[in-house]
Chain A
Amino acid sequence: MIASLANPHRFMTVSRWAAPALALAAAGLIAAGLALGFAVPPDYQQGETVKIMFVHVPAAWTAMAAYVALGVASFFSLVFRHAVADAAARACAPLGAAFTAAALVTGSLWGRPMWGAWWAWGDSRLVSVLVLFLLFLGYIALRASIEDEAKAARAAEILALVGLVNLPVIKFSVDWWNTLHQGESIFRAGGPLIAPVYLAPLFLMGAGYMAAFAALWLVRTRAEIRRRRALALTLTAALGG
């Protein structure tokens, strides 16, 4: 399927209906997640602040998924010179940065009442997610700072691929080091530690955030493909072709 979308025309045809469909799905999932989330009872330890989980955790999941998307797109662009992949990588980074920023801000707002601290430099989960945010910003800055688009793309793709090592660090940081951040409580061998009443809104919001990212990513990739086509036409006209 990925190979079939390498053709820009085919990608534009598929994404024309896929983007609105994903956007509708995202709206429905998030609306359902919010409705259920606001109706959950307070947690016995966290009280009403447990409701922050329904925006913080989905943002964090989507931020990591966005980086996987960036890494995969960068790989296909670097190795196979896949033009649509390069457009997709460039389109993905700002969205990943936004979701990561949302995860950091909502996490800080959750941490203050729970831990008594807005931030903890000694916490490996917090710092590794901050590194993720900086990787997204670094990718964007690298692409913008080199005038030759092809060279900029290659440099940024290498950065994106090297940064993939941060993902297992984020995931396993709560196991490898002592952290303020709670340990894995959802996707674990013995099953979730979170009460079922909180899982439904959490998974609905997670799915909604992912669908929203996918919809926005498709639209941004379409815009990037059009930008490149416009640039090619401008160059052709300038050369008198």
Chain B
Amino acid sequence: MLGIVGWLKEKADDIKDKVVDCYDAAKDKIADCYDTVKDKFVDGVDAVKEHSTNMWNGITGKNLMEQAEAVWDRVEKHKIKINKCKTEIEKLGRVIDTKISNINYLKNEIYRNHFMKFKSLADRLHNLNIHGQSFNEFFDESIVTFAYLTSVKDKSDCFKIDFDNLSFSEKFFGFLSLGYMTRKAARESLEEVKKTELSLAHDVAKIKEHLAKVGKTVEAISQIEEYFSFITTNYVKLLGRFEYGVRTQTYKRIIENHVNVSGKINFKEIPVVHIEEFHAIFNLSIVLKKMASLGYLSESGEMLVHDIAEYENLKDMVSKSELIAA
């Protein structure tokens, strides 16, 4: 144990002192180097600069940086356009959301309200069952959000060298390498900026495309809303006509003491016009049922099953004592 350890320890002690000196010396050396070179070369750099700016720009690559600046202006413009489109798309998204909610409401009304009424009226003439599903649509926000944006770079990420504020080591390296290093940095900056500009231009085109689609979709959904609204309004009106007809026929039979065992009116014995109305409402119901089962934006939503069966309605009618007329 003693041999090697002792020997190493001795040497280590020797080195220790030298190292402390070395270390300090190293620090000083760097500082000296810094200063000497600074003095010698910075003057040289400035001198060349004075005499020939163009050549200086060419050597150092400053001309490339000037190109890069011009391209960067376009980058900024793209960023603005993209933000505008984003805001617009969000706004339209909210509009669609409202409309979808409204359509959902109208769909539900069809079953809760209109079909129930139809059933209760139709039952006077004939048994009627309505089975269906209304599609309660969820507004899927991903439909309208734009997913492809390039992450936006800062100017400093792209511009790897600032010729107006060259650090000392940049000048130092630059001069010693005959401009190699600064040209390289300048070229890389230009390349980086060009890439950014092209990516953003691509993004602008894509987001504008998306905006166009969302815009037209809003119009189409408005149309759907109008379809629902119009058809249900007229359905209700038609029901009113039909109801009036059915009631009249019911009273007529009561007066004539013509009450049927089943409680129903024989459809062959009533005026055609009422059957026509019945027919029309029957068909319109099919149309509405179909419309209520569809999604108009995406597959996102849930189906609500409706089953308007006979006996329940009968129960209803009994409780409302409509069967037994005054």
> Do these two chains interact?
no
A residues whose Cβ falls under 8 Å from a Cβ of B = none
Q: B residues bordering A, Cβ < 8 Å?
A: none
